[in-house]
Chain A
């Protein structure tokens, strides 16, 4: 298990850990980056959704050995930096709509929303209810209707 080096939120990190430890635990338990949340550990609740090289993924299901030295991981903490602002437009929309209740799933919801809007716009479209219907991020407080509004609002400002 050689030390692994990659970038998280713009900063190079080096970790000395067994190859098969999933990235979520490397972020949380080793690096102390706690924005990505544990909700299931099997890639079904999406609470840990983060970005790798600008695209969404779930670090609970990626062994650290699969992360390359050139890979750039972005967690919710690093999202504002990707647009060079204090807050990403999607976070602004989330605040404006007062989306969170307990808030636990919201970092993952926001990271998934940003990715979805980018994907839809890359395909030349704009975000629709049907697109939002396919987001898999689970919320047990039931904030879905505000998330739906916030995604549309955030997309306009992205």
Chain B
């Protein structure tokens, strides 16, 4: 295991189950699942809340697995119920299979599920095969991968299924081993008797099979007995990933699904007026088809757009043909908009900072009126007020938007790494004029997601082309499309006004109001009912955004009277927006924490002490203390180098980040051609408490990734809006964290379990890391930055790629220009 990644020692006893404390002699919680009629052992559970799975009302005479034998009644119920089960199957070779209704895009949920099953069943993690389920509309809204919610939602159901399966294997083994079931144990894929004899799962898979489907009840392994959960487990696909054998969507062998790319308009959500050389382009080398399609990503509502698709033998020939198209383009959706005009509109829509605010926002945001009496008792107060601007950020992953579609003979088969396949299926049915039953959506593993794959743009593109030409297509967005037509985290401003009492040495009030370009949550948030409600023409999408904001925004400190507000400009789809590995907290928290540092300074307090003394949550306090001690808070640093620290609670977890930023000229002005150099984050210490960490190795990976995104948000990564489109056209322009920005030292401490359940991790570190790096930078330079990323307004450090033709041509000097591309300009120091 990596030497630099440490786990805090595991305590001998874990906290007891909060819901129903385990007391010696008392029953443990029992859960309901189903034994499924199948050739080998198969069990299922509903993917639902623990309380629904609990079988408290039913009698439970046996210690491990109890069954209810009223078959005539139960069979009816069971068949009805099994339609929406997730199932664990024991195969004839003794391995275990589980098809998870979630996306795997690098966050490690398949490995997590394998760990849960391995723990409960007594089988090696490597013998558990977790695959991704096709779109399953019968699961209703329970097939979305977002909001760092996957681990939280599968934790109990998957273990219940595995426990049921184990119980069945043990019962079948009891006969063979001539021992009582309660004396048997399972380990390494075998059932062992007290006498030392054993039988492998492979020999039990058929014997333990069920001929009828029926309900069954089981208990779960006590937390104290865990031996796999909480230990480091490598990714289930790590070997495939490093040998090139991992298959992403574009690597799948689907016959005749030829490469397809799209010529997109020069401004956001533009439309095709005419294609002037269709016949000529159709005869270009390798080209099989050229068609105009709708690229409306929100079918049935909102703004429409269109483009021209090219199908060819290779993607290279697609690129050439796309660029050869002579298209007369109609206007786009935001042709008159640039960063400056958006900023003006955001400021105009900002809720007044004075309390009480007259805007209706406060009905949602919640005014906490500052009673004059209370203020009187405080005595004279001083105020701090600041506006922070956060520019557009791209949520593009390394794997572009992709989909394979075969729409022929009244059926559609689509492969796409969707985070929300049921919605993808439903939208495909809508645009293809089919029923959902005619549309199959397979979910290959994705090359990153970060919120982009909560939208079905590529699947819709591919299906439309395939239906139009009657052939299968393998559709991929060009990187330029990813920048210019992809989803963005919307530009926003966050205004903070705080008052403090120098006399008392306390903060009196803290008000933070965020105003953003509308974020499109309509596909992704809440359940399908919420989503449908959001699509109603009279629905106020702002309400949805405010709800999301209020569900995620928080202040972890006691800062007196705290007030939030949120407002948006534009319709939900004026821009194509979404989340970027996190929702609001990547803007909300940095603005807040920078002001917390200002308050600490005004009150003469150390930033660490100030926070530790004001956190209201014990876990938050513990992670702060952990980074303080492990990260050597307050150590002597040269001028121009400084530390920043924050704590953040989200997704049922708590994380503290201590970052050290070096702004000295020798560092900031280092020359790497084409790079954004500038200030360097030298060292990061993270302490994370997610309650119960299932796989600390994977949890640390998520923290490390969140830190890299935070660094990008502070210094380098943004899109510049100018005259209706973004200037960035590829990864050289959009400056996400690179090796030259990555901290040479990063240390993640996984706290001892503070609970008996896991919290989410995928997004947890992003807001905290962004804030910690911003605070460290502010302290290093002695001036608080108020515009992010800090280089955004300094310069456009690249030659803007053409909008017409839409795709940058591939260079031809790749044999001589390695590693630095010949077009790379000088390094850009965003702090200069």
Contacts and interface: CB of A to CB of B under 8 A. Distances in A.
Interface of A: 17-18, 20-26, 28-30, 32, 34-47, 52, 55-63, 66, 75-77, 80, 87, 91, 94-107, 110, 112, 129, 132-149
Interface in B682-740: 697-698, 701, 704-709, 730-732, 736-740
B14 interface: no
Contacts of A30: 313-314
Interface of B: 2, 4, 105-108, 232, 234-235, 237-248, 250-251, 253, 259, 285-286, 313-317, 319-320, 396-400, 445-450, 476, 478-479, 672, 674, 697-698, 701, 704-709, 730-732, 736-740, 742-744, 746, 807-815, 817-821, 824
Given A38-B250, A41-B478, A100 B316 contact: no
A33 B271 CA distance: 36
Contacts of B707: 142
Nearest to B395: A140
Contact of A43 (B709, B746, B817): B817
Contacts of A25: 259, 314-317
A77 B743 CA distance: 30
Contact of A91 (B242, B313, B743): B242
8 contacts: A18-B286, A34-B251, A98-B232, A129-B744, A134-B740, A140-B398, A142-B742, A148-B744
Contacts of A94: 238, 242
A58 B244 contact: no
Contacts of B316: 20-22, 24-25, 29
Given A34-B250, A95-B238, A100-B238, A142 B708 contact: yes
B732 A133 contact: no
B244 A76 contact: yes
Contacts of A29: 259, 313-316
Nearest to B729: A42
B488 to A, nearest CB: 15
Given A30-B314, A98-B235, 14 more contacts: A25-B317, A29-B313, A37-B447, A39-B398, A45-B731, A56-B819, A80-B243, A98-B697, A103-B246, A106-B242, A138-B398, A140-B736, A141-B397, A142-B706
Nearest to B319: A41
A43 B701 contact: no
A100 B232 CA distance: 15
A43 B234 CA distance: 31
A98 B730 contact: no
A39 B731 contact: yes
B4 A149 contact: yes
Given A21-B317, A146-B2, A140 B818 contact: no
Given A41-B808, A43-B821, A104 B259 contact: no
A39 B28 CA distance: 51
Nearest to A142: B708
Contacts, number: 259
A56 B820 CA distance: 12
Contacts of A26: 314
Contacts of B105: 102
A42 B811 contact: yes
B476 A60 contact: no
B731 A77 contact: no
Contacts of B399: 37, 39, 102, 104
B398 A47 contact: yes
Given A52-B815, A139-B398, A87 B243 contact: yes
Contacts of A76: 242-244
Contact of A134 (B319, B446, B739, B742): B739
A42 B609 CA distance: 49
A46 B821 CA distance: 10
Given A76-B244, A105-B398, A140-B396, A17 B314 contact: yes
Nearest to A130: B670
A18 B708 CA distance: 41
A62 B811 CA distance: 7
A95 B242 contact: yes
The 10 closest A-B pairs by CB, nearest first: A35-B244, A142-B708, A102-B106, A61-B814, A103-B241, A104-B447, A144-B742, A101-B106, A142-B705, A76-B244
Given A25-B314, A149-B4, A138 B243 contact: no
A115 to B, nearest CB: 8
A142 B812 contact: no
Given A40-B479, A56-B819, A87-B243, A143 B814 contact: no
Nearest to B733: A44
Instruction: Select the residue from B400, B811, B817 with max chain A CB neighbours within 10 A.
Output: B811
B731 A44 contact: yes
Contacts of A60: 810, 814
A98 B479 contact: no
Nearest to B394: A140
B398 A32 contact: no
A142 B703 CA distance: 9
Given A34-B244, A38-B400, A97-B2, A140 B450 contact: yes
